[in-house]
A and B are shown apart, each in its own frame.
Chain A
Amino acid sequence: MDYFFTEHQQMIIDTAREITNEKIIPVRAELDEKNEFPKEILQDIAKADLFSIFVPEEYGGFGGGCYEIVLAMEELARGCVGVATSFAASALGIFPVLIAGSDEQKQKYLPDIAAGTRWAAFGLTEANAGSDASGIQTTAVLDGDEWVLNGTKQWITNGGEAQIYTIIALTDPSKGARGASIFVVEDGDPGFSYGKKEDKMGIRSSATRELILKDCRIPKDRLVGKRGTGFITVMKTLDVSRPGIASLGIGLAQAALDEAVVYAKQRVQFGKPIIAFQAVQHMLADMAIQVEAGRALVYAAARHIDAHPKNMSKASSMCKVFATDMAMKVTTDAVQVLGGYGYMKEYPVEKMMRDAKILQIYEGTNQIQRNVIGQELNKEYS
Chain B
Amino acid sequence: MKLLVCIKQVPDAKDVRLDPVTNTLAREGVDSIMNPYDRHALEEAVAIREQLGGMVSVITMGPPQAEAVLREAIACGADEGVLVSDRAFAGADTWATAYTLAFAAQALGAFDLILCGKQAIDGDTAQVGPGLACRLQIPYVTCVQKTRHVSRDAIEVERMMDDGYDVVRLPLPALLTVVKDINEPRVASLKGKMKAKKATIRQLSAADIGADPLCIGLTGSPTQVVRVFSPEARGDRMMFSGNVQQQVEQLVACLKNHL
Contacts and interface: CB of A to CB of B under 8 A. Distances in A.
Are A and B a genuine interacting pair, yes or no? Answer: yes
Interface in A15-29: 15, 18-19, 22-23
A15 B186 contact: no
Contacts of A11: 190, 193-194
B190 A50 contact: yes
A48 interface: yes
A52 interface: yes
A11 B194 CA distance: 9
Interface in A30-70: 44, 47-50, 52-53, 62
A12 interface: yes
Nearest to B194: A11
Interface in B125-164: none
Contacts of B188: 15, 18, 48
Contacts of B191: 49
B200 interface: no
A47 B193 CA distance: 12
Nearest to A12: B190
B225 interface: no
Interface residues of B, number: 9
B190 A23 contact: no
Contacts of B186: 44, 47-48
Contacts, number: 32
Contacts of A18: 187-188
Contacts of B189: 15, 47-49
Interface string A1-13: 0000000000110
A211 B25 CA distance: 61
Query: Chain A interface secondary structure, helix, strand, loop or mixed?
Result: helix
A8 to B, nearest CB: 8
Q: Which of A15, A19, A50 has the most CB of B within 10 A?
A: A15
Contacts of B193: 11, 15
A53 to B, nearest CB: 8
Q: Rank and list the top 10 A-B pairs by shortest CB-CB distance, nearest first.
A: A49-B190, A49-B189, A18-B187, A48-B187, A48-B189, A47-B186, A19-B187, A49-B191, A11-B193, A15-B190
Contacts of A47: 186-187, 189
A11 B193 CA distance: 8
Interface string B171-194: 000000000000000111111111
Contact of A44 (B187, B190, B192, B194): B187
Contacts of B190: 11-12, 15, 48-50, 52-53, 62
Contacts of A53: 190
A15 B187 CA distance: 7
12 contacts: A11-B193, A12-B190, A18-B188, A47-B187, A48-B186, A48-B189, A48-B190, A49-B189, A49-B190, A49-B191, A53-B190, A62-B190
A246 B188 CA distance: 27
A50 B191 CA distance: 10
Contact of A23 (B187, B192, B194): B187
Given A18-B188, A49-B191, 6 more contacts: A15-B187, A15-B189, A15-B193, A44-B186, A50-B190, A62-B190
A19 B189 CA distance: 10
A345 to B, nearest CB: 26
Interface string B186-217: 11111111100000000000000000000000
Contacts of A52: 190
B180 to A, nearest CB: 13
A49 B191 CA distance: 7
A11 to B, nearest CB: 5
Contacts of B192: 49
A106 B80 CA distance: 34
A19 B188 CA distance: 9
Contacts of A22: 187
B36 to A, nearest CB: 12
A19 to B, nearest CB: 5
B223 to A, nearest CB: 36
Contacts of A15: 187-190, 193
Nearest to B190: A49
Nearest to A15: B190
A22 B39 CA distance: 13
Contacts of A19: 187
A53 B190 CA distance: 9
B189 to A, nearest CB: 4
A50 B194 CA distance: 13
A11 B191 CA distance: 10
